[in-house]
Chains A and B, each alone.
Chain A
Amino acid sequence: MAAQPYGLIATFTTTPALYHAAEQVRDAGYRYWDCITPFPVHGLDKAMGLRRSIVPRISLAGGITGFITGMTMIWWTAAWDYPLVVGGKPHFSPMYAFPVSYELTILFTAFATIIGMFVVNGLPMHYHPVLKYEHIRRGMDDTFFVVIEARDPRFNLANTKALLEKAGGVSITELES
C-alpha cells in the first residue's frame, strides 16, 4: 500500500472564498482540518467552529501564582527569615507588599500567557507536512489554504477532494506525510 498522504490542501485567493469554504468543511463534520492564512481573518474562528481559546485560563493561573509569590516572598523575607524593624513599622503588611506583588502578577501572567500559547499550539514545531508544500510560502504572504488531514474519520480521498472543489478550492494537492 502506498504511503498514506498527510492530507489534502486546497488554495483560495480571497478571504470571502476561504470563509465560505471553511463553513462548508465545518458543516460536513470534519474535525482534523485547518486553514492557513497570512493574517488572523476576522470571523474565521466561528466559520471553522473553533471553541474559545483556553489560553486565558493559563494566564489567570499565572497571575494568581505571581501575586501569591510576591506576597509570600515579602512576608518570608521581612517577617520570618530575618525580621528587622524598619521605621518602627510592623514586619509585614499587605499594603507595602502590594506594589511588588502587583508587578509580579503581571510578570507571571505574561510568561504564563506566552508559554501557554506555545504549548496549546504545539509550537515550536519546525517540521510539519504543511510546511513542505511547495506553495506554502504564499500562505504567509497573500494566499489562503484549507488543509484536511487524512486521519480524520470522514477523510476519503475522492469525497474530500470533491468537497474542496465544491467549496471553490483550486490546485487541490495531496500532502506527503
Chain B
Amino acid sequence: MAHAQPATAPAVLQEVRPAVLPRAVLVEHGRSFSWITDKICGIIEGKTPAWWWVCFIVACFVASFTVGGITYLVATGVGVWGHANPVNWAWDIVNFVFWIGIGHAGTLISAILCLLRQKWRTSINRAAEAMTIFAVVCAAIFPVFHVGRVWYAWYLFPIPNSNIIWQNFRSPLEWDVFAVSTYGTVSVLFWYVGLIPDLAVLRDRFYAAGNKFRSFLYGVFAMGWRGSNRHWSNYEMAYLILAGVSTPLVLSVHTIVSFDFAVSLLPGWHTTIFPPYFVAGAIFSGFGMVLTLMLPLRAIYGLQDLITQYHIDCMCKITLATGTIVGYAYGMEFFIAWYSSNPYEGFAFINRAFGHYSWAYWIMISCNVITPQFFWSKWIRRNTTLVWVLAIFVNVGMWFERFVIIVTSLARDFLPSSWGYYSPSIVEIFTFFGTFGVFSTLFLLFIRFLPIMPMAELKAVTPQADVHGGRHGDHKTGFGDPASIEQGGAKP
C-alpha cells in the first residue's frame, strides 16, 4: 500500500478494515514441547496394544502369500505367471509401477514441500517417508523376480561376470535399475537423517527409565547426537541439500519408469506425455496411500492436535490437483491419438475404452477422474471416513491405470494374428495380494518402534519456538496486513 495517499484517501477507507488472514495453526491447543515429546514417545514406550498384535498377525499372514507365490515361482519357473505372447509384461510390471508410484508422495512431502517451505509437512513426513521405503521394497520384488532366474538378478548391475559382456546402457530398463536403486538408497538416507535427533530423545528416555538395552540400540543409531547447535547448523544444511537432490530424483524416477514404455514403439506407449503424466499419477496415488495410512493412525493414537483438519485439507487438495492433471492426461492422449492420424495409435485408444479391457478402463476413469473431484467440497474434506473411502478408490484406480496402459497395448499390437487376451494366474494374484501384507508388516513395525512424527521439526513450528516471542511478523507488512494499512493508509 506504499502508493496510497493518506491525504486523498476516500473517506470510506476509514471504516474498511482488511480481513486478517489467519495463518493455519499447525499444532493445535497450544501444546508444549514436552507434550509433543511425551505424545510421540508414549506410543513407543507404552504397552503393545492388542489391535497392533491382531493387525500384525493378519499382516504377516497376508505377507506369507507373497513368500509362497515367489517360492513357487522360483522352484518352478516364471511360466507359472499368466504371461504369454503377446502379453509378456503384465501384473509384474503393473505392480512394480503401482508400488513405486505410491512411494512418490513420501518423497514429495519430505523433499518438495520442504523446499517450498510448506510447514504442514512436518507432522506427516516421517510416516510418509517410511511409506516410501516400504513401497520401494514391495516394488523391487517384481522386477527382480520377473527376470525368471532370480539368482542372475545381479546381471542388472555392471559387475564383471564370466561372459565379460557389459550391460546395455542404451536401454531404459537399465536406466530404471539405477533410478530405482538410487531412489531406494536416497530415501533410506533421508529418512535416517531425519530420525537421528528423535533417536537421541528415545535413547535418553529409555536410559532414564532404566531400559539400558533399548537405550543402547537407539543410542547406536543416534550417533551420539547431543542437540548441539553447531551440529544443528550442519544438519539443517545437509537436510536441505538432501531435499534439494531428492526433488529432481523423485521426478526422474517416474520419468525413467515411463521411459520403459515411452521409448518403445508400441502404440499407446510411445508418447511424449508419459513422463509428466506418470509423475502426476505417482503423486496422486501416493497421496491416496498417505491418507489411507494417516487417517486411521490419527484416530487410533489421538493425534488430532498434530494432524489437524488443515493437514487433511492440504492433502485432499493435492490429490484433487494431481487427479485432475491425470484426467487431463487421459483426455490429451485421446486427442493426440486422433490428431496424429496414426491408425495404430487411434485404434489403441479406441480399444482401451471400448475393447476387451474396457471394464478396466472405466474403473480407472471413475476412480481417478471422478473420485478426486469430490474433494472440491469442504464438507467432504471434513468427513474423515469419507476421505478415507475416497482415498481407497484412488489406490484402486491407479493400479488399474497401470494395468490399462501395459496390458491393453500389448494385447492388441500391430498384427491381428498376434493378438491375445491376458488373465492373471492364481500365483500372480497371491504374490500381489501378499505385498500388501509385506507393506503392512513393515509399517506396523515402524509405528511400534520408531517415532511416527519428527518431534524436533514439530517443536520448531510451534509458536513458542520463535525467538522473537511470536512477533516475528512485525517488520513484515504486506497486502492485507493491518499494519501496512495503518502505516500508509487509513488511520484506525
Q: Which residues of A contact B (CB under 8 A)?
A: 14-16, 18-19, 22, 34-45, 47-48, 50, 52-56, 59, 63, 73-74, 77-78, 81-82, 84, 86-87, 89, 96-97, 99-100, 102-104, 106-107, 109-111, 113-114, 116-118, 120-121, 123-128, 130-131, 136-137, 139-142
Contact = CB atoms under 8 A, between A and B. Distances in A.
B204 A123 contact: no
A136 B234 CA distance: 21
Given A15-B466, A100-B175, A86 B235 contact: no
A100 B234 contact: no
A49 B188 CA distance: 33
Most A-side CB within 10 Å, residue of B190, B220, B234: B234
B229 interface: yes
A39 B465 contact: yes
A136 to B, nearest CB: 7
Interface of B: 32-34, 37, 158, 164-170, 172, 174-175, 178-179, 182, 185-186, 189-190, 193, 197, 200-201, 204-205, 207-208, 219-220, 223-238, 241-242, 245-246, 248-249, 252, 256, 259, 455-457, 459-460, 464-469
B254 to A, nearest CB: 13
17 contacts: A16-B468, A34-B229, A37-B227, A40-B460, A42-B466, A45-B229, A82-B164, A86-B168, A96-B169, A103-B252, A106-B246, A110-B189, A117-B238, A123-B231, A124-B224, A131-B226, A142-B33
A84 B171 CA distance: 14
A109 to B, nearest CB: 5
Contact of B467 (A43, A109, A125, A136): A43
Contacts of B465: 15, 39, 41-42
Closest CB pairs A-B (n = 10)? A142-B33, A77-B166, A117-B238, A19-B467, A53-B237, A124-B223, A35-B229, A39-B456, A99-B175, A137-B204
Given A100-B175, A109-B245, A15 B456 contact: no
B382 to A, nearest CB: 31
A172 B223 CA distance: 27
A39 B460 CA distance: 6
A42 B467 contact: yes
Contacts of B223: 118, 123-126
B166 A104 contact: no
A84 B226 CA distance: 55
A127 B223 CA distance: 10
